[in-house]
Amino acid sequence: MISQLIFFMLLGVSLFLFAKQAQQIYANIQLGKPVDRFDNPKARIKKMLLVAFGQQKMFKRWTPAILHLFVYVGFCIINIEMIEIVIDGLFGTHRILSFLGGFYNFLIASFEILAFLVLLACLVFLVRRNSMRIKRFQSPELKDWPKTDANLILITEILLMSAFLLMNAADYTLQGLGVGHYAQVGSFPISSLISPYLTTNTETLVFIERGCWWFHIVGIFAFLNYLPYSKHLHIILAFPTTYFSNLNPKGQLDNMPSVTQEVKAMLDPSFVPQVLEGPLRFGVKDVQDLTWKNLLEAYTCTECGRCTSSCPANITGKLLSPRKIMMDTRDRLTEVGDNVKKNGSFVDDGKSLIDTYITRAEIWACTSCNACVEQCPVNLNPLEIIMDLRRFAVMEESQAAASVNAMFSNIENNGAPWKYAQADRANWIQGTD
């Protein structure tokens, strides 16, 4: 009864703390501006199933994709075991689902094979991230906490899978010895290979089995409450993020409603503009000016660096890193959310997304090629944030880059981005057939 009570308390506290943190994240996302991403549900469900559930974009790079698939499938399927663990923990039973017979044997065998593959994949990821000089893992934005975060998760996964297999190995040995309630159930293709190396002392085996059981369940509860503070929140948010993806063709930029109305009014005197809600701002200065979808994406970023490694600006040595754009947005959103939570509403802290977190050099280095959007395994769009930061710089502050100002001047004076008279624009065709 004591162990059941402890388990019940751990389960309740874990779920309460997770729900509280999830509520804060939801409130932070709601600080963003509204945007309609509820159209065409069939296309959105298809996109979610292919990209989030089917891992479609992961397979642009096969080696990490296969390893990630082991971890992903293992995480999803092994957690089915949590059903049995929770029932056993609450009611003091042992392997309560063993009445499923042959199907139960198949499940346990599948869990073991997947646990071993997860263990193997995490070991490889740990070596790749820390020993191999892969450029996308050496970027400045991954120093300190982001690197520690990734390593903590990998080590935790290794420990949890090791505990699971060791628990089963001890259980398998106890079954063979015919001890107490350890009846002959389950199939153990991996842990049966570990079993011969364990002691035959009954008390020690029970201690190992129970100790690993508690370590496994407490580790999962701790992992659940660690998620909101980690990049691994994408385990949950990848599904809504891909569902609400922008279905427009890449490269099709959204027009600003306020500017669109002005243009329509200029072209059609009979046009009656709509009254736009909220304070009018051109572009984005801080996270509150972004849409809720942009903010959701900031929390979903996996920090994998595929966007940065494919960015032509970054490849040529410029400051821009699309991954850093998403990480900076998340960090600033967390800061603003804490501000709102503390004061009831946002109190100006003298900071903003642009300048304080993201520099002008970064946003003007972008070529708007959409390589980052194409590569992102969960359909994030750093380009939307970059373009809106540019809009603020140009339309509210008149602070465009020198090359951009020169282009604007040429368009105004010459009707083209280049510094040539309009009469000379067709000279390039001379001498061609």
Model pLDDT, residue 308: 94
Would you call 205 exposed, middle or buried from its count of C-beta atoms within 10 A (0-12, 13-18, 19+)?
buried
Does 284 score more than 90 pLDDT? yes
Does 114 score more than 70 pLDDT? yes
Lowest mean pLDDT of 12-16, 256-260, 289-293, 385-389, name the range.
Answer: 256-260
In the chain the first and final C-alpha atoms are separated, in Å, by 92
How is residue 418 written in tokens? 């280049």
Rounded to an integer, what distance in angstroms lies between the CA atom of residue 352 and that of residue 342? 18
Percent of all residues in the chain with a pLDDT value above 90, rounded to a whole number: 56
- For the chain, how many residues are written? 433
Model pLDDT, residue 278: 62
- Closest Cα to residue 381, out of 254, 200, 210, 268? 254
Higher pLDDT: 181 or 295? It is 295
Model pLDDT, residue 75: 79
SS3 for 40-72 is CHHHHHHHHHHHHHCCHHHHHCHHHHHHHHHHH
Q: In this predicted model, what pLDDT tens digit does every residue of 313-343 receive, in sequence order?
A: 999 999 999 999 999 999 999 999 999 999 9
Does 60 score more than 70 pLDDT? yes
State the average pLDDT over residues 69-79: 83
Lowest mean pLDDT of 3-12, 213-222, 257-266, name the range.
Answer: 257-266
- Closest Cα to residue 77, out of 107, 55, 48? 107
How is residue 46 written in tokens? 């298809």
Model pLDDT, residue 418: 82
For the chain, give every domain's residue range: 2-30+61-243, 257-414
What are the backbone dihedrals phi and psi of residue 291, each rounded to the nearest 5 degrees, phi first?
Answer: -85, 165
| Sign of the dihedral defined by the CA atoms of residues 418, 420, 426, 428, in that order | negative
Number of helices and strands (H, E) in the chain?
Answer: 18, 0
108 neighbors 188 (Cβ within 8 angstroms):
yes
273 neighbors 261 (Cβ within 8 angstroms):
yes
383 neighbors 372 (Cβ within 8 angstroms):
yes
Q: In this predicted model, what pLDDT tens digit does every residue of 198-221 receive, in sequence order?
A: 988 999 999 999 999 999 889 989
The residue written with tokens 């046009």 in the block is 271
Model pLDDT, residue 324: 96
| Sign of the dihedral defined by the CA atoms of residues 294, 298, 301, 306, in that order | positive
H-assigned helices in 244-318: 257-267, 292-300, 306-310, 312-315
Does 422 score more than 80 pLDDT? no
- Residue 49 CB: number of other CB atoms within 10 A? 14
Rounded to an integer, what distance in angstroms lies between the CA atom of residue 32 and that of residue 29? 6
Does 43 score more than 90 pLDDT? yes
- Closest Cα to residue 75, out of 157, 176, 189? 157
How is residue 147 written in tokens? 């690197």
Side chain identity at 282, as an amino acid letter? F
The residue written with tokens 């490269």 in the block is 251
Out of 4-13, 100-109, 173-182, 323-332, give the one with best mean pLDDT.
323-332
The residues, any chain, with a CB within 8 Å of residue 59's CB and separated by 6 or more, are 65
Model pLDDT, residue 383: 95
State the average pLDDT over residues 351-366: 94
Q: For residue 344, what is the DSSP state?
A: S
- Residue 269 CB: number of other CB atoms within 10 A? 6
Q: In this predicted model, what pLDDT tens digit does every residue of 76-92 receive, in sequence order?
A: 777 778 888 888 888 88
The predicted model scores a pTM of 0.88
> DSSP per residue over 228-255, as a string?
GGSGGGHHHHHHHHHHT---SPTT-PPP
Rounded to an integer, what distance in angstroms lies between the CA atom of residue 128 and that of residue 130? 6
